[in-house]
Structure 1
Amino acid sequence: MVSQKDVLVAAAVFVVALISHSEGIMGGTDAVAHSRPYMASIQMPDGENFKHECGGFVIADQWVMTAVHCMPTGPNGRRVVLGVHSLSASEDTKQIFNISELYNHQGYSTYNYDNDIALIKLDRPFNASEAVTVVEFQRAGSAIPGTGTEVQTAGWGSIDNLGTRPDMLKEAVVEVVNPALCKRSDYFGRKFSSNMMCAHKLCQERHCDNIDSCDGDSGGPLLYNGIAVGITSNGGKKCGQRTKPGIYTIISHYTQWIDTTMAPQPDATADQD
């Protein structure tokens, strides 16, 4: 005779399996240590320690690009760690920075995450090394990857819809989804703007997982041929769903804003001489 406890345990196992295989996990693989030296971990205070919250990527000697929705109300004590592979290990390659200035795009929309691009100015320039360097980003006038093109993403975000977080950097190859599809009402509808691209990789076999970015990957890069073309934004409440691929902000739409924001500011004392 099957007990009520056995029934509940079986039901719980079934639910976990359903989440894992129907919704899909991120499906990434461990990155080779420091093979993506532009990656940044944005970390928030957690008691006496810090914990990873969002990703970012280095685009200049004192600048990191990320997403507005990572810090919509300001830094609030967060820090940026470069040269990191393992979040927990005390790696000699790690460089830790305070956030000197945060520039969130003024057009950011909390309704649909439009214009989800932000720039962090670190409190000092980083020390270039094999573990810390810049990545080129796509500028205006360049064509974004077309439908079906393989692109890459990376981060320390959740590897499943249960919120399991990795310690080591993960990476994944995904495919650009036709924007017309992402504009459909059963995908993102009117929330999908011309400043966005969407990408994931659907599993074509039984009992495998769709590949997708997930919670905690936000702010990280989407790369094509080694160039950052997008910023991981928001793809829905669950990751790996067929009709909710990851959404990425198209970086090339913001070239002027990026250049203006990063331009050296005139020395106010010079006008007093």
Structure 2
Amino acid sequence: MVSGKNVLVAAALVFALISHSEGIIGGREAAPHSRPYMASIQVQEGESLKHECGGSVIADQWVMTATHCLLSGSAGRKIVLGVHSLSEPEETKQTFDILEYYNHPDFNVLNYDNDIALIKLDRPFNASEAVAAVEYLRTGGTNPGLGAEVEAAGWGSLDNLGSRPDKLKEVVIEVFSSSRCRRSDYYGKLFTSNMMCAHKLCPEPCNQPQRKEDTCDGDSGGPLLYNGTVVGITSYGGKKCGQIRKPGIYTIVSHYTEWIDNTMALQPNAAPDQSS
């Protein structure tokens, strides 16, 4: 398990190689509430809440996200569902406290291997057109192959300057070669068999200065979908978003079915493992 002071020290070191979180570069604004499984993990900032990470609703009281989104714990954080605009009042929004959270016990802060976490909400959500669970690929399922189109969504940065959208964005990208991501001029030994990488080169004429569409700062924990099913969790990418040799990295969800099932099957009153 990873915990306490060692996590913070190691995290500071690894930031020289990889970004803290992910978001959307390129893409377009999503149709309002067209992705009802999207969750916004928000942190108290003054008298308001600020979007910090993404997540996906996978059961009536459970959100799946990335471990590195919760390294400092759940204090001061809320989960908001039914969101399209972060700033506008929306009747569809449902806000939750975090009852329990479970970081994967084998998370490696040095390369973000096993970057998956589960959050138990303080109550089940009220199902609506704006809030609903999404299916995730289970063990034995077929992951998308090289060149397959996959979708990511979130409220992350639009560029390397850190400008953030107010409304949910989405992007279609392509699965990239794992063997190339393992090369030393890409990610080298940081890249493991629990990860897939994806991005999309921007077609000419390209209006993106980074020359590709990708994920960026602000949407770690959000889902990567293939044919409407979650196959990945947005984990990390290059220090600068949109670099050609630093595709976004995603945790392969189907590698964790047993852990997900066992975690959600815990008795309601069981004490959560907060040391992960």
Common fold: TM-score over 0.5: yes
- Matched letter for residue 26 of structure 2: G
Find out whether 1:83 has 2:85 as its counterpart: no
Which residues of structure 2 form unaligned runs of 5+?
A: 1-23, 271-276
1:141-180 equivalence runs, <5 A: 141-180=140-179
User: Distance in 2 between the 1:101 and 1:219 partners?
Assistant: 17
Q: Whose Rg is larger?
A: 1
User: Distance in 2 between the 1:123 and 1:77 partners?
Assistant: 14
The aligned counterpart of 2:14 is none
1:1-273 equivalence runs, <5 A: 26-209=25-208, 210-265=212-267
CA-CA distance at 1:244 after TM superposition: 0.3
CA-CA distance at 1:139 after TM superposition: 0.3
User: Distance in 2 between the 1:247 and 1:236 partners?
Assistant: 9
Q: Choose between structure 1 and 2 for higher RCO, CA contacts under 8 A separated by at least 6 residues.
A: 2
User: Distance in 2 between the 1:77 and 1:97 partners?
Assistant: 12
Report sequence identity in percent: 68
The aligned counterpart of 2:16 is none
Structure 1 stretches of at least 4 aligned residues deviating more than 6 Å after TM superposition: none
- Matched letter for residue 51 of structure 1: K
The aligned counterpart of 1:18 is none
User: Distance in 2 between the 1:33 and 1:267 partners?
Assistant: 36
User: Distance in 2 between the 1:220 and 1:133 partners?
Assistant: 15
What is the root-mean-square deviation of aligned Cα atoms in Å? 1.2
- Matched letter for residue 196 of structure 2: M
Q: Give the number of aligned pairs.
A: 244
User: Distance in 1 between the 2:228 and 2:205 partners?
Assistant: 32
User: Distance in 1 between the 2:269 and 2:45 partners?
Assistant: 37
User: Distance in 2 between the 1:71 and 1:254 partners?
Assistant: 18
Taking a change above 3 Å as real, the CA distance of residues 62 and 203 of structure 1, as seen in their structure-2 partners, is: same
SS at match of 1:175: strand
- Matched letter for residue 53 of structure 1: E
User: Distance in 1 between the 2:140 and 2:260 partners?
Assistant: 15
Q: Give the TM-score normalised by structure 1.
A: 0.87
SS at match of 1:112: coil
Deviations 1:216-271 (A, max 9, x none): 11000000000000000001211111100000000000000000000041778xxx
Taking a change above 3 Å as real, the CA distance of residues 206 and 47 of structure 1, as seen in their structure-2 partners, is: same
- Matched letter for residue 232 of structure 1: T
Taking a change above 3 Å as real, the CA distance of residues 267 and 106 of structure 1, as seen in their structure-2 partners, is: closer
